[in-house]
Amino acid sequence: MGKKRQRLLLVTCITITLSILAACSSTSTNTPSASDNNPKETNAPGAAAENGEQEAPLVLKGMANLYQQAPAKDSDFWKSMEKEFNVDYSVDWVPADNYQQKLDLVLASGDIPDIMQVTSITAPSVLKAVKAGAFWDLTTELGDFSKYPNFKQYTNQNAWVLSKVNGENYFIPRTRGNLDSALFIRQDWLDKLNLQVPTTIEEFENVMKVIAQSDPDGNGKIDTIGTIPVSGFFAAAFGTRDPFRDSNGGIIHANLTSNYADYVQYMRDLYADGAIPKEFALINGTQQQEMFTTGRSATFVKNAWHKYDMEQDLQKTQPGAKLTLIPYLEGPKGYAHIYDLGYFGGMVISKKVDEKKMQRILQFFNATTDEKYYNFVNFGIEGVNYTMQDGFPSLTDLGKKEVNSSFNAPFIFSTAEFAKVDSPLAPMSYNLQTREEMKALYDIDAKVELFNVLQSDSWSSAWSRVQDEFESMEAKAITGAISMDEFRAYQEKLLQDPDVIKSATEFAASYDQFFPGGQK
């Protein structure tokens, strides 16, 4: 393991070490094998009462993120899962594009289910709910994990630190490796236009301009979309992953910095070149993927494991379609890239459930986190939903129908380094190649998105008031409806907001808590 990779596995160098080195060494670095993975072989911990009799099933009402078709409650997998873990688990599945809005409404209503998936721990509504006591503070119950050993042995210990709020654990993080998403580009179109795969932001701009002004799909029209603004990927090239200090040493939110304005200027130039669609601000994630897989767009930012299935979808209507994965683009102040926190959101437990039920819920998730259940909660029943081929789960025809991005959403499971890289649809050789391509992130100065970690009540208050207006102003700046001077003036105006001023001090304190030695 190289020095860079060791550094990245420790992401934050948190002062509360929690035996991170030992924990990281025990973290799974591959999809666990199928050995001892039959759910019928063992009863889940906590399934039996003290007198040896089986406890009544733990009745759970949950809410989770839906990307595609949800697992049916009457499916063989769901029935097997409920029997294995002694639960009666009903999930309110909410489409991914509307999940945060629905979450906000549920939190505002106070009618919170027993457990719910939170996809953004720093979302203002979520932090407000934590402060209001909507969720169980799990810190004392979790303790040193002696009661929940699978959390200690099989999860990314850094995630338990980075997901804290005010130093306390309210979330059970859905841990994973740090390799996740990348930029995909149509390699067959590059070949057709005699273009090289871009390696820098400048090269990418030139390539997008040529594609937008050409006819790579051969339909006789100049209508190909080059790209769509994705600040989570592109803005990092302009320095948004580094703390931007004010004159008092406070940290200004990235959106209000000159670095972010440079990113907006870059997208403005791409828009002027015709590489960005006029209606880009109205196009959600699902629509972006559809535009890419139907050959309307040249690029798309997505989890690395989707490379194979998106390529297969493209080839159904466009024979010869081929994708290239771009893990990063070099920019003037950093790299455009996505480096995962080591977890994606987490599960919260409603304070409305009593202490005993809270403990049983933790026992349930501790059970699903056992490494031997990784394939079960991610791919279903071996021999039914998947088979093992060359050490990788390979979906059966039924699995291809039932197993998708939403399959594991209601669960907590063990950490696997390549969980978001390996495709269960792809052959081993394909996955190994994708792994090597994504591991390039270990060799650069890859950094997590700071404001997915840093917390400020004052910022939450300010952002809840101005978010819609800010996004509108950003879109107007990109389309040319307002000048860049006007956008920068708008940023300066927000910097005078009392809550924004206070947030700089709070962000600085949060940074010192999470990154005491600076982000390495």
24-33 tens-digit pLDDT:
333 333 444 3
Average pLDDT over residues 339-343: 91
Of residues 123 and 4, more confidence is placed in 123
Mean pLDDT over 414-440 rounds to 93
- Mean pLDDT of the chain, nearest integer: 89
Contact 407, 71 (CB under 8 A): yes
As a whole number, mean pLDDT of residues 23-49 equals 40
Mean pLDDT of the region 306-332: 96
Whether pLDDT at 382 is above 70: yes
pLDDT band at 355 (very low <50, low <70, confident <90, very high): very high
Report, as an integer, the average pLDDT of 366-374: 96
39 pLDDT more than 80: no
- Nearest residue to 31 (alpha-carbon basis) of 388, 438, 302, 396: 388
Confidence of residue 90 (pLDDT cuts 50, 70, 90): very high
Q: How far is CA 367 from CA 24, 206, 374, 377, 454, in A?
A: 20, 51, 11, 11, 30
Q: Does residue 79 come out as left (phi exceeding 0), alpha (psi in the -120 to 50 range) or beta?
A: alpha
Q: For position 15, what pLDDT does the model report?
A: 32
Cβ neighbours, 10 Å, residue 45: 17
What is the structure's pLDDT at 389?
A: 87
Residue 97: count other Cβ atoms within 10 Å of its Cβ: 13
User: Tell me, what's the pLDDT at 517?
Assistant: 74
pLDDT at residue 71, rounded to an integer: 85
Q: Which long-range contacts (CB under 8 A, 24 or more apart) does 135-140 make?
A: 135/170, 135/348, 135/349, 135/350, 135/351, 136/170, 136/348, 136/349, 136/350, 136/351, 136/353, 136/358, 137/168, 137/169, 137/170, 138/169, 138/170, 138/172, 138/349, 138/358, 138/362, 139/168, 139/169
Reduce the secondary structure of 370-407 to three states and give it as a string.
CHHHHHHHHHCCECCCEEEECCEEEECHHHHHHCCCCC
Band (425; pLDDT cuts 50, 70, 90): confident
pLDDT at 47 over 80: no
Q: Is the pLDDT reported for residue 2 higher than 50?
A: no
- Say how far apart CA 215 and CA 376 lie, in whole Å: 45
Q: Read off the tokens for 401.
A: 């129908």
Report the pLDDT averaged over residues 230-248.
97
pLDDT at 230: 96
pLDDT for 286 equals 86
Res 36: pLDDT? 40
Given this model, what pLDDT does residue 393 score? 87
**CA 137 to CA 376: how far, in whole Å?**
29
pLDDT band at 405 (very low <50, low <70, confident <90, very high): low
Higher per-residue pLDDT: 131 or 36: 131
pLDDT (0 to 100) of residue 406: 75
pLDDT at 51: 55
Q: Which two tokens stand for residue 510?
A: 């949060």
Phi, psi (5° rounding) for residue 281?
A: -65, -20
- Residue 184 is given by DSSP the state E
Q: Tell me the mean pLDDT in the region 403-420.
A: 87
Q: Contact at 8 Å (CB) between 456 and 341?
A: no
- Model pLDDT, residue 495: 98
Percent of the chain topping pLDDT 70: 89
Tokens 């669609």 — which residue?
A: 277
- Kindly indicate the confidence band of residue 1, based on its pLDDT and cuts at 50, 70 and 90: very low
pLDDT tens for each residue of 140-153: 999 999 999 999 99
Res 62 pLDDT > 70? yes
pLDDT per position as a tens digit, 196-209: 999 999 999 999 99
Confidence band, pLDDT 50/70/90 cuts, at residue 372: very high
Taking only the tens place, the pLDDT of each residue in 477-513 is 999 999 999 999 999 999 999 999 999 999 999 999 9
Predicted TM-score (pTM) of this structure? 0.78
